[in-house]
Amino acid sequence: MGQNPQKDLTRVNTVLFDFDGTVMDTNELILESWRHTIRTLAGREADEDEIRLTLGEVIADSMRRLLPDVDVERAVGVYRDYQRDRYLDRIRLFDGTEETLRALKAAGCKTGLATSRLKNTTEQGLAHFGIADLFDAVLTASDTDKFKPDPAPLLMILEMLGSRPEEAVFIGDTRHDIEAGLAAGVFTVLVDWSFALPPEKRKDAPTPDAVIKDMPGILKLLGMRISKPSHA
């Protein structure tokens, strides 16, 4: 899946990222949390494919679909209680992420994070790995009532950064990310390490503008063509 020739990367001065599964490897923790929640509240084992479908969603929406007979607040509480004491011990940055962010900043690129995760755990993860200062703006599920695949979060963070869609790239790992990026009019990139969309699951998903094999792949995709951000 190559670059879409109809979209011009020479104007890019802004790179937006998803958090879970893109910047931060939270996959195993999410799997464990769902297994625990479904086992506790439904008395059955979770199916990995049904868990994949939750990735990128707001957790309450996923709970309503997977556990329709359980009170949503109770289900979310069980899930978050399981994660609370394990979170920082079970997550890690994907290889090359910090170096890539620093290279983008050194090139004068604006960076943003748009995630459906709540603000407190997003900030905890960024601070724990010392990369909070590498994002010029962060938009979480605590900051909006509209979530991907709605393009609103991406348009909101672009406004925060003072950037236009045609100047931006968005990197994510789920079909919700792809749908939101395409709808927002930004150059949309899927990470090849996606747990939510492994190669065998992509035929039924929307087609991104490009796929990167590793995080430094965004630098290769942009080359030396990252424009300096304009200042008002």
> Is residue 69 among the annotated active site residues?
no
- For tokens 């979209």, the residue is 7
Q: At 112, which helix (H) or strand (E)?
A: strand 110-114
Dist CA 145 CA 152 (whole Å) = 9
The H helix count followed by the E strand count for the chain is 10, 8
Catalytic residue among 8, 18, 133, 150: 18
CA atoms in the 13 A half-sphere facing the CB of 52: 15
Q: Report how far apart, in Å, the C-alpha atoms of 160 and of each of 32, 66, 108, 154 are.
A: 35, 35, 17, 10
Burial class (CB in 10 A: 0-12, 13-18, 19+), 103: middle
Question: What DSSP designation does 20 have?
Answer: B
The Cα-based distances of 145 to 42, 152, 153, 182 in angstroms read: 29, 9, 9, 20
Cα–Cα distance for residue pair 197/32, rounded to 1 Å? 18
Give the active site residues: 18
